[in-house]
Structures are given as C-alpha cells and as structure tokens.
Amino acid sequence: MKMLSTLQTPRSTLSRFTIPSTITTFTSHSQTLPQASLTTQSPTTSSPHSQILSTRHSLLSRNLSAVDLVRSHLTRLRITEPHLRSFLHLPDDNTLIAQANDLDRRIANGEEVGPLAGVLVAVKDNICTADMPSTGGSRILENYRPPFDATAVKRVRELGGIVVGKTNMDEFGMGSTTEASAFQVTANPWDVSRVPGGSSGGSAAAVSARQCVVSLGSDTGGSVRQPASFCGVVGLKPTYGRVSRFGLMAYASSLDTIGCFGSSVADTGFLLHAIAGHDRFDATSSKQEVPNFLSHFDSASSLESKPLKGLRVGLIRETIEDGVDAGVVSTIRAAASHFEELGCSVNEVSLPSFSLGLPAYYILALSESSSNLSRYDGIRYGNQVYADELDSLYGDSRAKGLGSEVKMRILMGTYALSAGYYDAYYKRAQQVRTIIRNSFKEALDQYDILISPASPSAAYKIGEKKNDPLAMYAGDIMTVNVNLAGLPALVLP
C-alpha cells in the first residue's frame, strides 16, 4: 500500500463533464504489515497528501477553528446538495456546530484530541447511527432510529470525527446505480446526467463533491469500488473481517464489508485504521493486529525515479477482453505502462475461473439476502401495515415497504435455497467460490498485486440500465470475485 500511494496525486477542481477512469488493485497482504501506533504528525514535505492530516494541523496550529471548518462544509452542502442529492439525512446545523465548538474548547484548553478531530465523515444509510435515522434506503425502515451506533461509527466518533449525515444508497445495498433507493436518485458530481454508481453512490458522490472529507460505505460485491470508479475518488474494500460488521444492515453476511472513500490513498488508510480491529460483537471480525497503514506511505517527491522497483504486477487478462469498453482497456493498459515506468514488472495473468464469479456471486448473495431480510416483517422493525391476520400483516408490510429490486432478489434467493434446487444452485455456487479463492491464491503467489478495471464501462446515464437488470448485474463482473475470495481491493483514479 505504501508503494501504491505514490500513484495518487491531489485532484484538481471537479469538471462536471469528465468521467475519470480508474484502476483496481488486489492484494493478499493487507494484514501482514508490522504493528505501529497511529501517528498524527503535521504535514511536511515528506508527508503524503492528506486532508485529514491537513485538517488536524490547521486545528492544532490555530490557523483554523472547527466551527469555521463545519460552517464551510455546510455552505458547500447547501450549494451542491439540491443538484446531487447525496444525503438522505442531515443533522441540524446547530448540532454540528455544537460539536465543533466543543472541539475548539478542548484544543484551547490543551486537551488531547483524536486523530480524526474536526474531520467530517459521511456514513452510508445502512450503517447504524443512534442520533440519525438509518433506513437502508428503504421505505420499510422510514424514520427508523437504531438505539446504538455501529462499531465503525462509534470508533470514528471516539477519535474525534464528526458525522455530517447519512448518504443515499440502493435499497439494502441491492443495486449498482443508487437508482434503487426508495427516496431519491443521486447524481454524479462530474456529470449530473449520469449515475454515481452503487450501492454506495451517495458516499462516493459526497467525497467527490467535497461535501465531506471521507465517508463510509459497504461493499458486498463492489458497492464501494464501482462508485469510487464512477465518481473519481479512492475506494477501499478491506479484507473480510478486518472491520467489524456490527451495526451494518446485513445483505449477504459472508460477503459484506464496511469500506472507505477518500480523495487520497492516505485518507482512506487513515480512516481504515480508525475503524479496523477486532470487535467482540462480531464473531467474524479478525483478531489480527491492526498495522498503522499511514506509516508506510511516502510522498512522491521524496522517492527515487523507480520507487516501485521489484514489485510484481499481474494484469488480469479476462478483465480486458471482449465486453469491456475500448476506452477502459486503453486506460488500464496506460496504467500498466505507468507501473513499468515506476519500476514494476507487469505481465498478463489468466484467471480461468474469473467469469464464473458473477453467477456464483448472485446465487450466494441473493440466497443469503432472502434469509437476512426476513427480519423486516412489520413487527420487529420499521413501518407496519394494519391487518386482521398475521400473514396479511407480514405480506402487506413487505409489499408496501420493499422496492421491486429487493423483492426480485429475495424471490430468486428463496428459489435457489428451496427443496430440490439447493444442490443445483447454492451448493454448486459454494464450490465455485472455493475454485475462485484458490485461483486468486495461485496468482498472488506469483504476483504482489493484481490489477484490473473497476468496471467494464464509464458511468451510465441515469435511467440507462434501470429496466435491464441483467445488463446492470453484468457491470459487477470486475468486482464480485474479490468478495468471493475475501480479499482486499483498492480503486485508484
């Protein structure tokens, strides 16, 4: 990750009519870096580009107050939000200013503040927050307020981060454009006629439009990486288990991860460090020590002419073949050439099982979702429809509370798990999952990282694929294999 950060440079002012191209990197080594404490140094010529570090330095040197910082973002929100619709829930301005005032008071008194002090963080609406509604983008949970914060949100707050709001998403994470939200459609900040991707489209758009500094999303089959690609920001999907899923509304429990968006690699690394680590409330969270990712970053200006010398890079052949836009292929090949200029050895590598990932993913994800979403019955959570019979109460509450995409996926998942079809679909998909995991392991025994496009095309026009679910599902072909293998992945503009 240290070496990859040298490819990231500060982005210029947004151009509304430019869709940025991206590159995705996969690695098997995200949890093997040495342990170190979280550093909070001031930005210097040798520090990586980081809004988080710059914010902390400005606050501690009294060049900027937290109140000024919050008011600046609130002003930008008022200007951009009517056009973008990134957020579903925003707290009262006075609530955020009160938090900023408290931070300024603590700094003035010489008290220690956390490394995320004053950093405005947006949170995807399927990640629970006790002080704001958490609806998962669904009418069935409209106005629902959890009694607790998700572990990731709790850790952000403990380190001084300020939650600026809850971002729009495809209902329960089921979609690739954020058009499946029950409440509104989010626009892409680079071109408002296009989608921001999904399902974490609101979180990606908010960072891209500078409505916040960093944001949290969730990734089940590419829901952090694809919108990061479409919106031109850095998106990080951690290794499965690196971040606690406690407080994340379950879609497919064996695939779900909470991920990070930022305008630089350093900021996503900083945010990951803040939320990573074992959690006793999540039995699947890793007990492995959390390294200090930021300590492995160097500024590009401090490196030699061949800073990536010796790094072995594999370009996945199946991701640049038929079905991928020519512009995307040329961009990825240009990125591969840039790797070589920086000292890497780059070779194409074939993963024959790559094309099997998409059908296996949808069978497994939809099967798990049909079980996980059974809790939304009008009794335990959210909105309830009045009925004389219990079965009618269940049926009517779900019929009126769930959107068409969610209903379709629940039905397909239930079918795959039904008697007579379990072995033909679910069991076989699990076997394919093992093949994919082994295929990645073999490739990563030969290469340090694997690269591919994050999506086979640039951002779609709004409405372009809404009525063609198979075409929309095919857009996930670059990302789903990583979730099936449990690997980490990083999207770079």
| pLDDT tens-digit map of 152-165 | 999 999 999 999 99
> Which residue type occupies 475?
G
Q: How many Å apart are CA 456 and CA 31, to the nearest integer?
A: 29
Q: Per the structure block, which two tokens stand in for 308?
A: 């990536």
Catalytic residue among 223, 244, 353, 452: 223
Instruction: Indicate if the pLDDT at residue 30 is higher than 80.
Output: no
Of the candidates 148, 92, 96, the one whose C-alpha atom is nearest the C-alpha of residue 119 is 96
Single out the residue of 265, 256, 249 nearest to residue 285, CA to CA: 256
**Higher pLDDT residue, 311 or 36?**
311
pLDDT tens-digit series, residues 392-428 = 999 999 999 999 999 999 999 999 998 888 888 999 9
Say if residue 452 is exposed, middle or buried (CB neighbours under 10 Å; 0-12, 13-18, 19+): buried
Q: Does residue 138 register a pLDDT over 90?
A: yes
DSSP state of 124: E
Segment holding 236, helix H or strand E:
strand 234-237
Chain centre to alpha carbon of residue 477: 17
Q: Could you say which of 199, 286, 367, 439 is catalytic?
A: 199
Determine the pLDDT at residue 419: 84
- By mean pLDDT, which of 25-29, 357-361, 374-378, 408-412 is the weakest? 25-29
pLDDT for res 27 = 67
Q: Tell me the C-alpha to C-alpha distance, in Å, between residue 493 and each of 15, 199, 287, 294.
A: 14, 19, 32, 19
Contact 351, 440 (CB under 8 A): yes
pLDDT of 46 higher than 90: no
Q: Does residue 392 have an active-site annotation? A: no
Considering only 6-15, 104-113, 366-375, which range has the smallest mean pLDDT? 6-15
Strand order of the β-sheet with 449-452 is 87-89, 162-167, 120-124, 214-219, 257-262, 234-237, 489-492, 23-26, 449-452, 312-316, 345-349
Phi, psi of 185 (to 5 degrees): -110, 125
Mean pLDDT on 249-259:
97
Higher pLDDT, 302 or 345: 345
What is the band of 20 on the pLDDT scale with cuts at 50, 70, 90? very low
d(CA 15, CA 229): 15
Q: Interhelix angle for 93-108 vs 51-60, to 10°?
A: 60
User: Residue 47's pLDDT is what?
Assistant: 57
Residue 473: pLDDT above 90?
Answer: no
- Residue pair 421/415 in contact by the 8 Å Cβ criterion: yes
Active-site hit among 124, 154, 237, 465 = 124
Per-residue confidence at 17, pLDDT binned at 50, 70, 90? very low
Q: pLDDT-based confidence at 382, cuts 50/70/90? A: confident
Judge if pTM exceeds 0.85: yes
- Decide if 477 contacts 212 (C-beta within 8 A): no
Write down the pLDDT at residue 216.
98
Mean pLDDT of the chain: 89
Which range (10-19, 214-223, 305-314, 405-414) has the least confidence? 10-19
Q: Is 96 strand, coil or helix?
A: helix
Q: Which residues of 309-332 are buried (b: 16+ CB within 10 A; e: fewer)?
A: eebebbbbebbbeeebeeebeebb
From 104-118, 244-258, 457-471, the region with the lowest mean pLDDT: 457-471
pLDDT, position 13:
29
Q: pLDDT (tens digit, 9 = 90+) per residue, 276-292?
A: 999 999 999 999 999 88
Query: At 45, is the pLDDT very low, low, confident or very high (cuts 50, 70, 90)?
Result: very low
How large is the average pLDDT for residues 41-69? 80
Q: Is 315 helix (H, G, I), strand (E, B) or coil?
A: strand
The yes-or-no verdict on residue 43 having pLDDT over 90 is: no
Distance between CA atoms of 365 and 381, rounded to whole angstroms?
Answer: 22
So what's the pLDDT on residue 80?
Answer: 97
Residue 29: the pLDDT is 47
- Span 3-20, average pLDDT: 32
198-239 confidence digits (pLDDT tens): 999 999 999 999 999 999 999 999 999 999 999 999 999 999
Distance CA 34, CA 296 (A): 10
Q: Cα(399)–Cα(228) distance, rounded to whole angstroms?
A: 32
434: number of Cβ within 10 Å: 13
Q: What percent of the chain has pLDDT over 90?
A: 78
- Confidence at residue 48, expressed as pLDDT on a 0 to 100 scale: 65
Whole-number pLDDT of residue 302: 76
Q: Is the pLDDT of residue 44 over 60?
A: no
Residues 6+ apart with CB under 8 A from 133: 88, 89, 125, 142, 143, 144, 145, 166
Q: Which amino acid is at 49?
A: H
Residue 297 has a pLDDT of 80
461 is catalytic: no
